[in-house]
Amino acid sequence: MNERVNDASQGRLSGRVAVITGGGAGIGRAIVDRFIAEGACVAVLEVSEQRLRDLADTYPEDVLAVAGDATRLADNIRVVEAATERFGHLDCFVANTGYWDFGISLEQLPDDEHFDHAFDQIFALNVKAFLSGAKAAMPALSASRGSLIMTASNASMHPGGGGPLYTSSKHAVIGLVRQLAYELAPDIRVNAVAPGGMLTSLTGPPALATPTSSISDLPMDKLISIVSPLGFLPEPADYTGWYVALASARDARTITGATIECDGGERVRGRAFSEYARMKAADVRVTSGGTAQRTCSKG
């Protein structure tokens, strides 16, 4: 969704300013596109220079592309300062970075230093980056009585959406949302969106040797047909309406400390994840040296 909604003055986020971390690809890029379409101005913190160039070329007026590492507090402070200097204020901060662990089980995790590195890398990007963003954005969001939104996951709510590293990191996001909603009220609303499966470029941590493999390498259409009553594989753009709603001062005034589950109704299916887990185990294994390798064809 790259075109403005009618015109910028009629969008749900007209005049609003947002920072989005990890906004260069996947659901992050979809959120950027939707926010722009709804009339917002956006600053993006992104580690990939190519993705930053693409954002700047696509939205020369409405997007401020900032190179940086979302796990570093200093870089989060820098993008917030750049956004307020360029656009005058900040209304919304979307913490959206993440690694997946490709469903690697406790037994499959490496027995050497790769274990420690994998834990540190996943929790840095999935949890520390969110807390760093909240710390950096707090003064500006307090001044605007704004909104802090975190990207959680269906794995934030139940097991089976990943292995123990990913699942525990995403459960931590829910705890962070609740604690910060309590601490930052009444000035800042803090909420999360918990998407289900989709095709994105989400990768694994370097310590598991999966940085060039993405979640889209898996047979997601088959997996989703197993676990989702709605029976279709969503695109990243299908989830962006929830971010727009939570960023809207008009539509979400009464919501804080909440997590919106938009997973296609997985819970009403009764968590039929045994087949899902078997498929993942057949598709990915971890060698004793700590590298993830494909072991069968996708289908």
Give the alpha-carbon dihedral of 158, 150, 97, 239, to 10 degrees. Answer: 80
Round to whole Å and give the CA distance between 218 and 229. Answer: 20
Q: Is 276 a catalytic residue?
A: no
Q: Which of 148, 154, 157, 156 is nearest to 180 (CA)?
A: 148
Round to whole Å and give the CA distance between 193 and 240. Answer: 9
Q: What are phi and psi of 130, to 5 degrees?
A: -70, -45
Which of the residues 59, 99, 166, 243 is marked catalytic? 166
CA distances, 178 to each of 167, 183, 257 (Å): 17, 9, 5
Round to whole Å and give the CA distance between 37 and 123. Answer: 32
Contact present, 51 and 66 (Cβ < 8 Å): no
Which residue pairs, CB below 8 angstroms and at least 24 apart, start in 276-285? Answer: 276/160, 276/223, 276/226, 276/227, 277/103, 277/160, 279/219, 279/222, 279/223, 280/102, 280/103, 280/218, 281/103, 281/105, 281/108, 283/218, 283/219, 284/102, 284/103, 284/104, 285/108
Q: Which residues are catalytic?
A: 166
